[in-house]
Structure 1
Amino acid sequence: MLVNMTACVHEASSGERIVPGFNVFGFEDAQAVIDAAEKFNAPVILMSNKDAIEHMDLRSSAALYCSLAESTRVPVIIHLDHAKTFAEILRAVEAGYTSVMYDGSALSLADNIENTKRVLELARSRNVSVEAEIGSVPYTDRNEEIKSILTVPEEAAAFMRQAPVDALAVAVGSLHRMQTKSARIDFERLRDIEALTDVPLVIHGTSGIVDQDVKDLLRTNVGKMNIGTALRMAYGKELKEEVLSKPDEFDRVKLLRKPMAAVQAAAEEKYRLLGWKEIYREKL
């Protein structure tokens, strides 16, 4: 079932659950995370980041993911992640994406607001949900100077007054592409943001956050968390083992069976961590 993100993240943020957004790169991993979502009767967000778009263009990605969404009863959101330009967002919307993130976090607050307002005007006319970002989540596993780019609560409030997006990504201590769970959430800052805004919040860089902090986030207004590295690590580890243990195997389908099972298992683990209960095991 193809939907936008708005209702799903609102319901999750008020019900001690969080909707996972998974970075996917094609048929196999997209189907794996949908299969995981079906076990929990939960929504799933299929996200295309810059690397994914370079691997498979927006139009091809949208066609594939829309087709997969039509074959399941769980809500499926097709989301463009970290788009930097209006042109890229327009291409995604025209291709069939149901949700977009405009990332103007590197700009001044005023420019970020103005650009986001333009995105909102387009999205509202197409029933597309919009995520934006205040503060900046870095791509590193070092914690130096993180405070200088964390979200300022008053700026988040000013942003939402002028550009009322459906979900707001905030920087509160997580980092992109961490391979170890060592990032800690600044809950005091998060509570201050919650006190000044009324919007589901989004956390990027979830793979590196310690599990207890993720569990504590269930009692906040966070409605979406982005997950990429955990799935890629599960895939890479299993694929290496398959190739090394079967040096004469050349069938792509056979080689990918165990890696995709590992991706699904990693996605299921995230659903449990984010407050979802497994309700059945049969495919819908």
Structure 2
Amino acid sequence: MSRIAYVNGRYVRHAEAAVHIEDRGYQFADGVYEVCEIWQGKIVDERRHLDRLERSLRELSIRMPMSRAALSQILRQVVRKNLVRDGIVYMQVTRGVARRDHVFPPADTPPALVITAKPVRPAAGEKAAEQGVAVITVPENRWDRVDIKTVGLLPNVLAKQKAREAGAKEAWFVDADGMVTEGGSTNAWIVTRDNCLVTRPAQSGILKGITRQVVLDMIERAGLTFDERPFSVEEARQAKEAFITAASTLVMPVVRVDDTTIGNGHPGETTMELRKMFHKVSELSSV
């Protein structure tokens, strides 16, 4: 069957879906997005994703395109129409369509909304987790407001491409002090030799990942030792374990950073236990 997308009030064939050439998301990256995992016919952590969407929109002074309840219903319709049982649903809101000008358009300009969904094979993620993935490090070159989930992702695109060319899954941005900030599309974690889980604080400099928050909940429930602080590339190389988190990867073990093998070169026990627990702790809502 053909994929279906929601574009500004209409459900259309994905292959024919289009936005106006003066959509501000296209011309200025003036918009935000969210991605929710679909797992066994359930939307994962929808409430938290919509909370973050609303925050991102507030930070950019963009109106919600509709009520939260209406948006939630459209999410479900898109998932159903695409028959997605395991996969992702993507939503993007921009400031809308207006004559090209850097300043905001008239206040009555309606925000633009696009929602798509696609299946993802769970077996592929499990296979990657069994082997672990590699990351490379790149200099931090993004704007200061990466806490807003905007569609302005060119530095991330370039970093992810560099990782692919190096045979790695992800690129970790490293600030001027040699500290890891986050990945191109993930949050970064390590487990120290004394079994302390470490990740950078989310007050500034990184996106406050939803999967990251679920992992924090798991850590609290399991009574694990945790330290929310920056860690250096060298500390990561010396770590017992490392992993990345995102809606698209869940908890994914990292077994190599640049040319350094992490731990024994295999996915760590703590990392794999967190991955196993993830859907038992995350919020699941029916499609």
- TM over 0.5: same fold? no
Q: Whose relative contact order is higher, 1 or 2, with alpha carbons under 8 Å and at least 6 apart?
A: 1
Greater helix percent: which structure?
1
Look at both structures and tell me which one has the larger radius of gyration over its CA atoms: 2
Give 1 or 2: higher strand fraction: 2
When the two structures are superposed, what TM-score results if normalisation uses the length of structure 1? 0.25
TM-score, normalised with respect to structure 2: 0.25
